[in-house]
Amino acid sequence: MTQNHAVEFKGISKSFGHKVANEKVDLYLDRGVIMSLLGENGSGKTTLMNMLAGIYFPDEGEIFIDGRPVVIRSPKDAFDNGIGMIHQHFKLVDVFTAAENIVLGLKEGGKLDRRKVSAKVRGIAEKYGFEIDPDKKIYEMSVSEKQTVEIIKVLYRGADILILDEPTAVLTPQETGKLFKVLKAMRADGKSIILITHKLNEVMEISDVVAVLRKGQHVATVRTAETNEKELTEMMVGHTVSMDIDRPLPVDPKPRLTVAGLTVKDSEGVTKLDDVGLVAYGGEILGIAGIAGSGQKELLEAIAGLRHIQKGSIIYTPEHEAPAELVGKSPMEIKEAGVALAFVPEDRLGMGLVGGMGMTGNMMLRSWNKGRGIFVDTKAPEKLAEKVLENLDVQTPGIDYPVRKLSGGNVQKVLVGREIASAPSVLMSAYAVRGLDINTSYTIYNLMTEQKMKGVAVIFVGEDLDVLLELCDRILVLCGGRVSGVVDARKATKEQIGLMMTSTDFIHSSPMPGETISQAEAMVAKAREEEERLAREEAAREAEAAAQAAAQAAGTVAETAVQAAPEDAEKEVEKND
């Protein structure tokens, strides 16, 4: 008798206009199996899974569940067939509890019995090893707790086939370990699990089989035990890829940026950075690690002049010039002061590039004011666009093609290429490889190392600890907006950094090679002293101004009293008469 597969795709195709996302895909998954789905950006992984989850509908082909053909036109149809998808960006209501989010949208007769719901949620949690408080509000939860709610939400609805999109992207190593234990428990219970991921080390650790897509087509499905990371990479890209990250030792590192006592609040008065200090050296890559929302974004934006700073000091030290204080300066004032600062923001199309413009227009964003009179110079940006296109192998129909229509990897190449072309002395990058395929990711890593070797101080915010440990010289760890410590990336472990990401009780300081810890601390201490000196001077100026105002006010009162005295005396005489 032929075995029925839990899920089977037969001849599945999907196009968006002229763009073919999936082409005649044949793929299956059995019960009690964890499958990793691999492929470069634009290979069709997410599109294929969205058809299984009812978000898209295939143009051609059939989907079978347990051997029977099904028509999935909506997420409700997917749930009715025991399919649930956990998206990378959670779909939860912050002011509701975990239990309320889990039952949200379900049609259950009568009044909602919260005790019954909580009891069922606890039962699911105990069965698979989740840690969850059903009565806890979402806004009080960590990222891993929110993910737990999303997984239990689909299990509560009876899902036997689970799709997880980049499930470990924002988790610490400890949280990833807990998630893998849960996934293994679900596998033992007969659940079928599909992981969309770029992390090959995790693929090798957790999956039973690996399916590889390339340019919308299913290339191969292999047993994990019978393959390796190098082989999987070659399947994804179609050719041999070097997976070594070059990390030469820093040569003559010199301080470029010294941050001390930096405190930043958001528009609602919530503290995002609390007394943060760091020293970034020219000729090194300083990694920034932390759970999502720990202040990474705010730190880079504050340095770039995009955030209001409550207090603190940011000292920029050029090669042969006097140090400059950046606090209080706008991005334009920082540029006019001669500070060679480049910033690759987290939001590529929101903050970094204009989606409706081509490469030439986006290159011009850095040089629009260099034209003569009212005319804008377009020749230099056009040459730069052609240079970035050639050097970084940007896949685009032309340099005037809107960048919003490019893949994520090509958009990032345009942004990084433009910023590097400005010849910065400080280069800041936030999540430079988020969502990028392995081939493009290694291109970005090499670009960062090239800048380091040119003496640039590179600040690299990342979420993959394996990459941070291989690429960076030192790693600063943030926890809840505070610095947990700075470690030597050549000696630290993922577990050590993971603990520091969740607590400030592991404070540790690591100097640059050839430098003592006391010297590194002295740099920050000196900046703090400068900050305190400026604060004392400001307080003295305010006190002097207040004294002058008081003296002026006292003089005015006295003068008024003198002028009023004769009139009062006259009135008194008239009264006595």
Q: Is the dihedral of CA 346, 352, 198, 25 positive or negative?
A: positive
Q: Which pLDDT does position 535 carry in this prediction?
A: 61
Q: Which residues partner with 7 through β-bridges?
A: 29, 65
State how far the Cα of 149 lies from the Cα of 170, in Å rounded to an integer: 15
Pairwise pLDDT comparison (245 vs 547), residue with the higher score: 245
Would you tell me how many other CB atoms lie within 10 Å of the CB of residue 11? 12
pLDDT for 531 equals 53
Contact 151, 182 (CB under 8 A): yes
pLDDT computed for residue 418 by the predictor: 87
Predicted local distance difference test score (pLDDT) of residue 486: 93
Q: Is 70 exceeded by the pLDDT of residue 574?
A: no
Comparing 30-39, 184-193, 338-347, 445-454, the range with the smallest average pLDDT is 338-347
pLDDT digits 0-9 by tens, 17-71 = 888 889 999 999 999 999 999 988 778 888 899 999 999 999 999 999 999 999 9
pLDDT(546) > 80: no
Above 80 in pLDDT, residue 340?
Answer: no
**Which structure tokens are listed for 169?**
């992207």
Query: What is the rounded average pLDDT of the residues 229-249?
Result: 83
The separation between the first and the last C-alpha atoms of the chain, rounded to the nearest angstrom, is 130
77: exposed, middle or buried (Cβ count in 10 Å: 0-12, 13-18, 19+): middle
Name the band, by pLDDT with cuts 50, 70 and 90, for residue 525: low
pLDDT band per the 50, 70, 90 thresholds, residue 457: very high
**pTM of the predicted model as reported, rounded to 2 decimal places:** 0.69
503 pLDDT higher than 80? no
Neighbours of 510 (CB within 10 A): 20
Max mean pLDDT among 98-112, 507-521, 545-559 falls in: 98-112
> What CA–CA distance (Å, rounded) separates 342 from 353?
14
**What is the band of 563 on the pLDDT scale with cuts at 50, 70, 90?**
low
The domains found in the chain, sorted by start residue, are: 7-237 (3.40.50.300), 253-340+423-550 (3.40.50.300), 353-422 (no CATH)
Q: How far apart are CA 21 and CA 215, in angstroms?
A: 7
* 565 pLDDT more than 60: no
Tokens describing residue 258: 């010294």
The per-residue pLDDT of the chain, averaged, comes to: 84
Q: If you count DSSP H runs as helices and E runs as strands, how many of each does the chain have, helices first?
A: 17, 20
CA distance 260 to 250: 23
**Statement: residue 338 has pLDDT above 70:** no
Distance CA 534, CA 540 (A): 10
Angstrom distance (rounded) from CA 346 to CA 461: 9
For residue 354, report the phi and psi dihedrals to the nearest 5 degrees.
-100, 110
DSSP letter, residue 137 = B
Angle CA(414)–CA(417)–CA(418) in degrees, nearest 5? 85
Residue 528 has pLDDT above 70, yes or no: no
Close Cβ partners of 467 (under 8 Å, ≥ 6 residues apart): 245, 433, 441, 445
Buried b / exposed e along 110-142 (16+ C-beta atoms within 10 A): eeeeeeebbebbbebbeebebebbbeeebeebb
Q: For residue 438, is pLDDT > 60?
A: yes
> How many CA atoms does the CB half-sphere of 127 hold within 13 Å?
15
Helix (H) or strand (E) holding 35: strand 34-38
Q: Using CA atoms, how far apart are residues 203 and 197, in angstroms rounded to an integer?
A: 8
Q: What phi and psi values does residue 282 have, to the nearest 5 degrees?
A: -65, 135
Position 338: which residue type? Answer: G
Would the pLDDT of 567 be above 70?
Answer: no
The answer, yes or no, to whether residue 87 has pLDDT greater than 70, is yes
* Pairwise CA distance, residues 401 & 395, whole Å: 11
Indicate the pLDDT class of residue 519, thresholds 50, 70 and 90.
Answer: very low
Q: How far apart are CA 199 and CA 171, in angstroms?
A: 13
